[in-house]
């Protein structure tokens, strides 16, 4: 018998042929699309260069700006303003969403019926309605329906609620702030070492050494000491006032309606998801661990801190990372309420200059950078908490 396999069924050649076919198909498709795009751009008289970033933006960004910006600045600076705004809302959002999410998640496992069910209802409501709808409700139905700045609601002439934003008293750094800060940083470092030292003593001797009282003392010292040295507080308090022209606030910290709406919506929405992650993380810890901890006579707070949480972290970190990434990506919805973040600024530039491909590339690169940095940090944290196996 002389049966030779045809060469395309050869186990060594088949994969190469398949891949070649795949590359050719993808290549033709790409060529078609790019060719179309290039001819289209040529027809419209646009180029693919990024030199437009250096020309004058000639549009103003109203409201939130972390750096100085005016209409005479360049496009690149406008993009930087947007980038920083995204960063601000994402970082604040992640911090608040984590705090509220953890509280809600623990409340869902509480033995108090009321707390358990309140948390459940909260989570279900905020998880099952679209973020954009929530954001628009906060913006146009809550923040913008606050009274005009002239007849604002105010509490003790220090906190103002109006449709121009919410103004609250804020700390204003003075020239000795850095002395205070450095003492407090030193105090925190000292407290960590004291804690470790006292815990070590407690483990070695088996006697109670009251580590938390020591830590408290160290921290107290780091506050008393700079007070004695500088004879003044760390900050002066800046209390908001209404501008004489009656259209804005002076001093304090002003939360603009769009920023408030974006932050509140992102925090509420994401914390509902985080609550579920925390709950499943805690429930994912082996029941035997809890029983063993109880039989060793640990208090419930100690058990939570030393036995349950270190194991729950491991389950919680990967889904937490994706929630943080989602929050960052979702901050792009702020374009709908006029908060000048990356997509909103990018969209304005895109409409004004027609450089669609360049602007979208810039946005994509920015978001991919956020994603990569967040996953990198979370991966480091993940490694740190992972089970050390023998």
Partner 1 sequence: MNREQVETNLPILPPPKEKVTFFQWLKDNLFSSWYNTLFTIALSILLFSIIKGTLTWIFIDADWSIVTSNFKILMSGQYPAVQLWRVWLCIVLLASLLGFSSGIWNGTITHLSIFLGSLLFISGILPFVSLETRIWTFIGLAILIVGHFIGKKIPIKKTILIGWFLLFPIAIFFINGFGVLPKVGTNLWGGFLLTILLATVAIVCSFPIGVLLALGRRSKLPTIKYFCIFYIEFIRGIPLITILFVSSIMLPLFLGQGVELNNILRAMIGLTLFNAAYLAENVRGGLQAIPRGQYEASHALGLSSPLMTCFIILPQALRSVIPAMVGQFIAIFKDTTLVTIIGIIDILGMAKNVAQNPQFLGQQMEVFLFVAVVFFLFCYALSYTSRRIEKSLGVGER
Applying CB under 8 A, which residues contact partner 1? 15, 18-19, 22-23, 26, 33-34, 36-37, 39-41, 111-115, 118, 124-125, 127-134, 136-137, 140-142, 145, 329-330, 332-333, 335-336, 343, 347, 350, 356-357, 360, 363-364, 367-368, 371-372
Question: CB of 281: closest distance to partner 1 in angstroms?
Answer: 14
- Between 37 and 229, whose beta carbon lies closer to partner 1? 37
- Between 169 and 338, whose beta carbon lies closer to partner 1? 338
Question: CB of 209: closest distance to partner 1 in angstroms?
Answer: 27
- Between 213 and 368, whose beta carbon lies closer to partner 1? 368
Q: Are 235 and 181 in contact (CB under 8 A)?
A: no
Question: CB of 248: closest distance to partner 1 in angstroms?
Answer: 24
3-state secondary structure the chain: CCCCCCHHHCCCCHHHHHHHHHHHHHHHHHHHHHHHHHHHHHHHCCCCCCHHHHCECCCCCCCCCCCCCCCCCEHHHHHHHHHHHHHHHHHHHHHHHHHHHHHHHHHCCCCCHHHHHHHHHHHHHHHCCCHHHHHHHHHHHHHCCCCCCCCCEEECCCEEEECCEEEECEEEECCCHHHHHHHHHHHHHHHHHHHHHHHHHHHHHCCCCCHHHHHHHHHHHHHHHHHHHHCCCCEEEECCEECCCCCCEECCEEECHHHHHHHHHHHHHHHHHHHHHHHHHHHCCCHHHHHHHHHCCCCHHHHHHHHHHHHHHHHHHHHHHHHHHHHHHHHHHHHHHCCCCHHHHHHHHHHHHCCHHHHHHHHHHHHHHHHHHHHHHHHHHHHHHCCCCC
Question: CB of 361: closest distance to partner 1 in angstroms?
Answer: 10
- Between 23 and 250, whose beta carbon lies closer to partner 1? 23
- Between 157 and 300, whose beta carbon lies closer to partner 1? 300
- Between 191 and 262, whose beta carbon lies closer to partner 1? 262
Question: CB of 27: closest distance to partner 1 in angstroms?
Answer: 11
CA distance 66 to 340: 11
- Between 182 and 379, whose beta carbon lies closer to partner 1? 379
- Between 16 and 189, whose beta carbon lies closer to partner 1? 16
Q: Are 73 and 57 in contact (CB under 8 A)?
A: yes
Distance of CA 175 to the CA centre of its chain: 31
- Between 152 and 330, whose beta carbon lies closer to partner 1? 330
Question: CB of 216: closest distance to partner 1 in angstroms?
Answer: 21
- 333 beta partners: none
Nearest CA to 334 out of 286, 389, 266 is that of 266
Question: Length of the chain in residues, anyone?
Answer: 390
- Between 137 and 315, whose beta carbon lies closer to partner 1? 137
CA distance 235 to 239: 12
Radius of gyration of the chain (CA): 28
């Amino acid at each position: 018998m002389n049966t030779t396999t045809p060469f395309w069924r050869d186990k060594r050649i088949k994969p190469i042929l398949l891949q070649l076919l795949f590359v050719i198909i993808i290549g033709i498709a790409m060529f078609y699309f790019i060719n179309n795009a290039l001819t289209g751009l040529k027809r419209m008289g646009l180029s693919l260069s990024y030199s437009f970033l250096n020309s004058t933006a000639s549009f103003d960004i109203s409201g939130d700006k972390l750096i100085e910006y005016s209409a005479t600045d360049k496009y690149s600076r406008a993009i930087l303003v947007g980038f920083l705004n995204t960063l601000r809302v994402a970082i604040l959002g992640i911090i608040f969403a984590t705090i509220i999410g953890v509280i809600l998640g623990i409340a869902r496992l509480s033995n108090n019926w009321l707390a358990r069910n309140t948390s459940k209802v909260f989570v279900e409501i905020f998880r099952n309605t679209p973020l954009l709808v929530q954001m628009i409700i906060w913006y146009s139905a809550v923040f913008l329906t606050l009274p005009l700045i002239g007849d604002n609601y105010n509490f003790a002439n220090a906190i103002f609620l109006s449709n121009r934003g919410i103004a609250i008293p804020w700390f204003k750094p003075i020239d000795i702030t850095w002395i205070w800060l450095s003492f407090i940083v030193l105090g925190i470092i000292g407290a960590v070492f004291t804690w470790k030292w006292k815990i070590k003593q407690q483990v070695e001797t088996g006697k109670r050494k009251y580590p938390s009282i020591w830590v408290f003392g160290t921290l107290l010292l780091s506050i008393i000491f700079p007070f004695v040295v500088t004879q003044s507080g760390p900050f002066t308090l800046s209390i908001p006032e209404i501008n004489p022209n009656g259209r804005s606030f002076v001093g304090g910290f002003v939360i603009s309606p769009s920023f408030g709406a974006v932050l509140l919506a992102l925090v509420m929405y994401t914390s509902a998801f985080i609550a579920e992650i925390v709950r499943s993380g805690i429930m994912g810890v082996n029941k035997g661990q809890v029983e063993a901890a109880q039989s060793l006579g640990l208090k419930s707070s100690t058990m939570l801190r030393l036995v349950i949480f270190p194991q729950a972290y491991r389950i919680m970190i990967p889904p937490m990372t994706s929630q943080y990434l989602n929050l960052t990506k979702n901050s792009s919805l702020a374009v709908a309420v006029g908060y000048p973040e990356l997509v909103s600024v990018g969209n304005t530039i895109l409409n004004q200059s027609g450089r669609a491909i360049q602007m979208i590339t810039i946005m994509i690169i920015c978001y991919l950078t956020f994603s990569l940095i967040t996953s990198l940090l979370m991966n480091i944290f993940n490694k740190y908490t992972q089970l050390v196996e023998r």
